[in-house]
């Protein structure tokens, strides 16, 4: 594993497991610094391979492909949490996975994730784990509604969960639990806002936190992130403290994100991601260092850069259905930093890119967004 006295330096090669947009933006940050990039992904011409030096085309759990990646590169990172655990452990044992396998093990499983938060005394919604329809029916008797049932593994962007509005939804939940076997039921938090804490931890244990982001979702998919988040100093302190506690306990290295609900002056932790996060994309233009560049510094064993927010920002995701409008607006407006990820097919609800707006005031950002929206028509 790279230590500060043995860092990975430009000219050496970083391997990335997963060739999506997060891998692509990590790779771009690393290329700026002069690193070489190899990516492992089953799909050729994936977003990361378009900016990488080399692609190993193979499944994430293909032993041969993992071995080839490990042998080709000086350090390995991952861009998503569903990395095969056997593969991650293999790379870690070879001393080339500073992020470690443990953070994956926890974040791949909502039960382990919530249990760890609970063990650390962190505020979370009440929850119950159920492994069958009958256990679900029994557990729901003790819940007030609304509640939500989620699969313990494999869910993202609202997939693999249903909101239970009233006791009448019990049978729907029972069928869901019967089908998915291992599920978590959570109390529904009537939150005022959702925030995320994106931070980076170095191998030395140093933690540097990006400004907290305020997130709006549409159809369970992140729609917009605004920075700075409109939260009190007290909420900010609570969020920082929770993030530091988790980071230290999990011994994470690299950029990491924790999503939280804010209700009044209270926070409730929702979920975490052991990698750069959609709600941290604003850092590319709005901070002196991006979540991706800081991630590269951490996994390369370089000291972290102190963070400055250069200006307030808003980031809006571009989904498949928005792409034509964005391309229409681009030649007409001056504002908005458009990032497209090079995905070949613009499917509905698929994240194709994002646009970041920065300005001195929130009002000016809002006017930029309105002008952009107008130009899309």
Cβ distance to ligand AMP smaller for residue 167 or 217: 217
- Least gap, CB of 6 to ligand AMP (angstroms): 37
Joined together, the tokens standing for residue 118 give: 């609970």
Number of neighbouring beta carbons within 10 Å of residue 11: 10
178/167 Cα distance (integer angstroms): 18
Helix (H, G, I), strand (E, B) or coil at 313: strand
Helix (H, G, I), strand (E, B) or coil at 176: helix
Rule CB under 6 A: say whether 113 interacts with ligand AMP: no
Where does residue 348 rank: exposed (0-12), middle (13-18), buried (19+ CB within 10 A)? exposed
For residue 138, what are the contacts with CB-CB under 8 A and spacing of at least 6? none
- Site map (CB under 6 A) of ligand AMP, residues 17-56, x = contact: ----------------------------------------
167/146 Cα distance (integer angstroms): 8
- Least gap, CB of 212 to ligand AMP (angstroms): 15
Cβ distance to ligand AMP smaller for residue 66 or 243: 243
How big is the site for ligand AMP, counted in residues (CB under 6 A)? 14
Residue ranges in 312-371 that form contacts with ligand AMP under rule CB under 6 A: none
Cβ distance to ligand AMP smaller for residue 125 or 254: 125
Please select the residue that binds ligand AMP; options are 79, 81, 186, 214, rule is CB under 6 A: 186
Please select the residue that binds ligand AMP; options are 63, 94, 179, 217, rule is CB under 6 A: 217
For residue 370, what are the contacts with CB-CB under 8 A and spacing of at least 6? none
- Least gap, CB of 367 to ligand AMP (angstroms): 27
Rule CB under 6 A: say whether 155 interacts with ligand AMP: yes
Rule CB under 6 A: say whether 301 interacts with ligand AMP: no
Cβ distance to ligand AMP smaller for residue 79 or 113: 113
Helix, strand, coil % in the chain, rounded to nearest 5: 35, 25, 40
Nearest to 1 by CA among 141, 101, 112: 101
- Least gap, CB of 221 to ligand AMP (angstroms): 9
Residue ranges in 260-289 that form contacts with ligand AMP under rule CB under 6 A: 270-271
Distance of alpha carbon 164 from the chain centroid:
26
User: How many alpha carbons lie under 13 Å from residue 16 in its C-beta half-sphere?
Assistant: 36
Task: Report phi then psi at 339, rounded to 5.
Answer: -120, 120
Cβ distance to ligand AMP smaller for residue 39 or 128: 128
Cβ distance to ligand AMP smaller for residue 90 or 188: 188
Alpha-helical segments (H) within the chain: 21-33, 63-72, 85-93, 102-107, 110-119, 133-140, 170-180, 233-250, 283-286, 291-299, 323-329, 362-376
Rule CB under 6 A: say whether 169 interacts with ligand AMP: no
- Least gap, CB of 123 to ligand AMP (angstroms): 12
- Site map (CB under 6 A) of ligand AMP, residues 58-97, x = contact: ----------------------------------------
Cβ distance to ligand AMP smaller for residue 56 or 316: 316
343/176 Cα distance (integer angstroms): 32
- Using CB under 6 A as the criterion, which residues of the chain lie in contact with ligand AMP when the complex forms? 125, 148, 155, 158, 186, 188-189, 191, 194, 217, 220, 259, 270-271
């Amino acid at each position: 594993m790279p230590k500060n006295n043995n860092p990975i330096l430009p000219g050496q090669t970083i391997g990335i497991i997963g060739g999506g947009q997060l891998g692509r933006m990590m790779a771009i940050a690393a290329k700026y610094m002069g690193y070489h990039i190899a990516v492992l992904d089953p799909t050729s011409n994936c977003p990361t391979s378009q900016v990488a030096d080399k692609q190993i085309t193979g499944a994430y759990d293909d032993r041969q492909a993992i071995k080839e990646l490990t042998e080709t590169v000086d350090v390995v990172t991952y861009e998503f949490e569903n990395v095969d655990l056997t593969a991650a452990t293999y790379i870690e044992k070879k001393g080339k996975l500073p992020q470690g396998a443990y953070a994956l093990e926890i974040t791949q499983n909502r039960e382990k994730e919530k249990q760890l938060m609970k063990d650390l005394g962190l505020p979370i919604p009440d929850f119950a784990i159920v492994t069958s329809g009958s256990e679900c029916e029994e557990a729901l008797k003790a819940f007030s509604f609304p509640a939500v049932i989620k699969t313990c593994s494999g869910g993202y962007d609202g997939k693999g969960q249903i909101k239970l509005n009233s006791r009448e939804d019990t049978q729907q939940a029972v069928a869901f639990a019967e089908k998915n076997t291992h599920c978590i039921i959570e109390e529904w938090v009537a939150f005022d806002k959702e925030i995320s804490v994106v931070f980076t931890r170095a191998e030395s244990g140093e933690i540097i936190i990006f400004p907290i982001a305020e997130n709006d979702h549409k159809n369970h998919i992140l729609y917009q992130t605004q920075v700075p988040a409109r939260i009190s100093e007290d909420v900010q302190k609570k969020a920082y403290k929770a993030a530091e506690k988790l980071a230290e306990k999990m011994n994470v290295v690299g950029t990491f994100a924790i999503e939280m609900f804010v209700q009044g002056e209270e926070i409730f932790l929702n979920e975490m991601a052991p990698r750069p996060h959609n709600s941290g994309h604003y850092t590319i233009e709005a901070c002196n260092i991006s979540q991706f560049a800081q991630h590269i510094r951490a996994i390369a064993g370089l000291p972290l850069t102190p963070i400055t927010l250069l200006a307030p920002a808003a980031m809006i995701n571009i989904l498949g259905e928005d792409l034509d409008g964005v391309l229409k607006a681009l030649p007409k407006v001056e504002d908005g930093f458009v990032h497209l990820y090079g995905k070949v097919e613009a499917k509905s609800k698929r994240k194709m890119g994002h646009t970041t707006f920065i300005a001195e005031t929130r009002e000016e950002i809002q006017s930029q967004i309105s002008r952009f929206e107008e130009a899309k028509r």
